[in-house]
Structure 1
Amino acid sequence: MTLSQQLLMAYDQQLRTDAETPSAIAVEHLGPLRLVTFAAGSGFVTYQDLDGANALTIAQWVAEALAFYRSDPAIVRVEWKTRGHDHAPGLHRALLDNGFEPGETESIMIGPANALTVDVQLPTGVSLRRVAEERDIRAMSAMQDEVFGVDVSDGNADAILHRMALDDGMELWVAEHEGLIVSAGRLEPVPDTEFAGIWGGATRPEWRGQGIYRALTAARARAALTLGKRLIHSDSTEYSRPILERYGLLRVSTTTPYRWRR
C-alpha cells in the first residue's frame, strides 16, 4: 500500500464520522447517510461510504434526504459533500435532478504537520495572531465571505461564534496589516484522531503571492503539534493546493460540494 493510500484509509476511518461535524446541532441517519443540521439554517449530507448501493437506491436516498430538509422551514441551504474516490453510481445525476448544483472541486490534502512548520518572511507591516473576540471574528468572517465571493453574512459569523462558545478546540488565526485582516484560516483539532484540519484559508487578492497564506499555515501546523496532532488535512482550492504540495502534503482524493437553496 502506498503512502497516499494509507493516508486516504486513515481519512476515511478517522474523519468521516462524528469527527467531521463537531458543530452539528442535530444528526439524523438515512441508510449510511448522515443528515446534519448546523446553525443559521444550514444542512449538510455526508457519509463514510455508500455501502455498495446501486444507482436506484442512491437516487432514492437523495430524494428522501432533500425531503427531510424541505420539511424544516428553517433550513435554507443544504450541501451534499461528495468524494472522488467513492463508489457512487448515479449520484451526480440524482443530485442534479433534485436541484443541487455542483461547486468547485477541491483536493483532499493530507500530510505530516511537521512538514509545514517552516519559517516564512512576512511582508513589512504584516503580523499574525490568534483571535477569539467577537469583533475580530466578525471582521474575519466578513473578509472570508468577500474573498469566497458570497454575500457578507451575519449568519456565517454567528455560526463561528457558536463554535467558539462550544470551546471544542477550534482556533482562529489571522494576518493583519495596519488593522485590516488580509488573510485568515482556522485550525480544527479532531478529538480521538491523529488529525487536525486547516480550513477557511482566504487571502485578499492584492495580498496573494507574498507568503502570507504560507506563514498562516505554518502557524496553525505548529499549534496542531502542540496539541499532539501529527497529521494535517485540508480541502484545498487550486490557490492553496500547490503551496501544501510543496511542503509535503499529498493529494489523496478530491471532494466536490453540491448545493441546494430553498
Structure 2
Amino acid sequence: MDHAGVLRLFDRRMRRDAPPDHAGVRVEDRGDVVRWTGGPHDWNGVVWSDLDAANADAAIAEQVRHYGALGVGFEWKTYSHDTPADLGERLLCAGFTAGEPESLMVAEVAAPTAPAGGGERPDGPRLVDVTDAVGIDLAVGVHEAAFGTGGGRSRDQLLERLAHAPDSFVVTLAMAGDRPVGSARIEFTPGTDFAGLWGGGIVTGFRGRGLHRDMVAHRARLAADRGARFLVVDAMPTSAPILRRLGFERLGTTTPYLREP
C-alpha cells in the first residue's frame, strides 16, 4: 500500500471534503479549519485543520468561542501528521482533555480474510444485519455490556442518522440463539472511497473465538457491495493486532481532544 498516497486521499475525502453524516449537521469550512456543527446530541467538532505555530492558538480560541456560544461540548480529532507538531499540547493548554490514542488503520476492501464459507462458523453465533431502532438498541446494549460504559449518546446519534440517512450505515449483531453477544457497524460516505468500521464489541464469554475477525470480514463484504476501495478503523490496542493479521496497515495515530461546554 502507498501509505502517503492513501493518507492524502483520506485527509481530502474523509476529513476536509467529507459531507456531514445527516441533515441536522452542517459542515463549516473556515479556511484552515473544517468543523461540524449540530445540536447537543450530535457529534460536534473539528475534523480537519491546516495550522502552523503562528495561527494555531488563534484558531483554537475561535473554535472554543464558536461552540461555547452554542453551549455544546466538542471534539478536536487530531492525527499524528497534523501540524503544528505540538497541536495536542496547545489544545491541552486551552482546556481540552485528551482521550486515548488509537491507531489509524486502513486495508484495501479485498484484503480482510475470513474462514471458508463466508465468515460464520456453523457452531458459532450467527451474524445479522439490522437497520432499525430495535437493532440499534440491541447493539448499544452489547456495547455497554462489553465496555462497561453508557451508550445513551451513541444511541441518540444512531437514531438520528436512522431518521435522516438510513443508508449511511449498517449495524451487525452476533446472535447466540436469541441473545446478542457482539455488535459492530459500518459507515458509508458516498464519493469518498472509504468505509469506516466502528463500535466493535463482544461480551465476556464469547471473546477469543474469532468473532471479531468474522465481523470484520462480513463488513468488508458489505463495503465491496457498495463499491468502497478502502476500510478504515480507529483501532484500540486490543484490536490492532487482530486487524494487522487481517491485512490492515497502520498509517498513524489519532487522538481525540475533548472540551466540555
TM-score for both structures, normalised by structure 2: 0.88
Matched with 2:92 is: 96
- Which AA in structure 2 matches 1:71? A
**d(CA) in 2 for partners of 1:121, 1:132:** 20
Residues 1:206 and 1:100: Cα distance change in structure 2 (over 3 Å): farther
Give the direction of change, closer, same or farther, for the CA distance of 1:41–1:6 in structure 2 (3 Å limit).
Answer: closer
Task: Tell me the distance in 2 between the aligned counterparts of 1:181 and 1:99.
Answer: 39
Distance 1:234 1:42 in 2: 18
Percent of aligned pairs sharing the same letter:
31
1:261 to partner: Cα distance: 2.0
Structure 2 unaligned segments of length 5 or more: list them.
none
Cα distance in 2, alignment partners of residues 176 and 208 from structure 1: 13
Distance change >3 Å, CA 184–CA 20, structure 1 → 2: farther
CA separation of 1:123 and 1:236: change in aligned 2, threshold 3 A: farther
* Structure 1 counterpart of 2:99, one-letter code: G
Does residue 156 of structure 1 match 2:154?
yes
Query: Within 1, Cα distance between the matches of 2:120 and 2:141?
Result: 26
SS class of match (1:114): coil
What is the correspondence of 1:31-70 to structure 2 with a 5 Å cutoff? 31-39=31-39, 40=41, 42-47=43-48, 49-51=49-51, 53-54=52-53, 56-70=54-68
Aligned to 1:109: 105
Worse-matched range after superposition: 28-37 or 93-102: 28-37
> CA 1:125 to 1:190, structure 2 compared with 1: closer, same or farther past 3 Å?
same
Cα deviation, residue 123, structure 1: 7.8
- State how far apart, in whole Å, the 2-side matches of 1:168 and 1:29 are: 25
> Is this contact kept in 1: 2:188–2:194, CA < 8 A?
yes
> How many residues end up aligned between the 2 structures?
255
Instruction: Out of 250-259 and 19-28, give the one that drifted further.
Output: 19-28
CA–CA distance in structure 1, aligned partners of residues 17 and 161 of structure 2:
15
Cα distance change, pair 167–152 in 1 and its aligned pair in 2 (3 A) = closer
Q: Aligned in 2, Cα 1:152/1:132: closer, same or farther, shift over 3 Å?
A: same
**Partner-residue secondary structure (3-state), 2:150:** coil
Asked if the contact 2:127–2:172 (Cα under 8 Å) also holds between the matched residues in 1, the reply is yes
Change (3 A) 1:89 1:22: same
CA RMSD, aligned part only?
2.1
Counterparts of 2:26 and 2:120, CA distance in 1: 43
Structure 1 unmatched runs, 5+: none
